[in-house]
Amino acid sequence: MKFKFIYFFILFSVNSYGQLYTNTELDSIAKNIPESYNVSTKSIADYFKSISKDDRDLSRMIFSWVAFHIKYDDYSFNNSIYKSPEADSVLKYRTAVCAGYSYIFKAICEHANLEAVSIDGFAKGYGFKKGMSVDGINHSWNAVKYNNKWHLMDATWGSGSAESVNGKAVSISKFCDYYFDVPPLQFIFNHFPDSSHYQFLEKKVTKDQFKNLIYVTPNLVFPLGFNADTIISKSLKDSKFNLPDVFSIDKTEFTLLKMPYSRVLKAKSSCVFQIQNNSAQRVVLINNNELMEFEKVGENLFELKLSDLKAGRILIGIAGEPNVDIVLSYDVI
């Protein structure tokens, strides 16, 4: 009996204090935090520490809390009239531009005993177009250290995006968890820190290389399986290089393992597409209105080999009823 009691106590302790929650659970906890805890950065951190002692869990909850509870300050951005970015001010007004997001994220992390930094630099974000200058500082983001490694994240971009309406930026609140713990080689496509130390890359990217890198939407491109190192190499070798068009859908539950990286393919040529599909979704390819199914070649592994491509377009999408949601698009010329 004594042995059983000790075993139960140990098991209970692990479940209470060492449990690793799913991202969905952590996001829900952060979004639905009791309002009585939203009075200070310390009380927010204390609440999250009562949920989990795991540093990764804490980082995720803090990222999600900032993304859900702080709204982007369109008025300040459009009029260049800014409130204090300090954490207390951001918590009071629940609005901020990027510096405020970064500061309050760091402040909550510190109360949660997490080592975090606020990083300034240049980001290819709202309004950026290829060829523009990348000098100066126009954005702030964060890095958090856990599991003996630094992890990059951008709570501002995690809270949503912006579109231009009558020449003014209008933010759209939509949680995007891609910007939590972004691999450094993917992050560098759109974020260039003022200090190269914060690239967290063994081989640093220069400002000229950053300027000449192809402009991509990382949260669309990389979850599909495109390799960042390959894109960097192709982009810096060929200024005309372009990826296929990528379209946003709510859920893309497959990964491309083999695919052409160039948006433009040659007519009458050949190519191979291979996907890992772990869902019940049907993934199809359309070449000039001809719909083709991928062939199953292994467990959750599907492949389609094309030869003698027809001029026009190649579309890859998820088949539903009655439509196909397009994810990728190529031009064949």
| Domain assignments of the chain as residue spans, ordered by start | 19-212, 254-332
212 within 8 A of 236, measured Cβ to Cβ: yes
Q: 162-221 pLDDT, tens per residue?
A: 999 999 999 999 999 999 999 999 999 999 999 999 999 999 999 999 999 999 999 999
Q: What is the DSSP string of 110-149?
A: HHTT-EEEEEEEEE--TT--TT----S--EEEEEEEETTE
State the average pLDDT over residues 261-281: 92
- 249 pLDDT tier (thresholds 50, 70, 90): confident
Contact between 313 and 231 under an 8 Å Cβ cutoff? The reply is no
pLDDT for the residue 254: 87
Mean pLDDT, rounded, of the chain: 91
pLDDT band at 130 (very low <50, low <70, confident <90, very high): confident
* Pick from 263, 217, 220, 212: nearest CA to 239: 212
Confidence of residue 18 (pLDDT cuts 50, 70, 90): low
Which of 204, 203, 206, 210 lies closest to 189, judged by CA? 210
Structure tokens at 227: 């390799």
Distance separating alpha carbons of residues 160 and 310, to the nearest angstrom? 39
Task: Mention every residue, 6+ apart, whose C-beta is less than 8 A from residue 323.
Answer: none
**283-303: average pLDDT:** 91
For the chain, give the number of residues. 333
CA–CA separation, 109 and 49 (whole Å)? 11
pTM of the model: 0.89
Written as one letter, the residue type at 294 is F
Alpha helices of 18-146 — where are they, by DSSP H? 23-31, 41-51, 55-69, 74-79, 87-93, 98-111
Residue 15 above 60 pLDDT? Answer: no
pLDDT at 88 over 80: yes
Domain 19-212 listed as CATH 3.10.620: yes
**What pLDDT does residue 244 have?**
96
Quickly state the pLDDT bin for 282 (edges 50, 70, 90). confident
**What is the pLDDT at residue 109?**
98
pLDDT for 3: 36
pLDDT in tens, 29-65: 999 999 999 999 999 999 999 999 999 999 999 999 9
Annotate 265-309 with DSSP letters as a single string. Answer: E-TT--EEEEEEE-SSPEEEEEETTEEEEPEEEETTEEEEEE-SP
Structure tokens at 146: 């856990």
> Domain 254-332 falls in which CATH fold?
Immunoglobulin-like (2.60.40)
Which pLDDT band holds residue 19 (cuts at 50, 70, 90)?
low
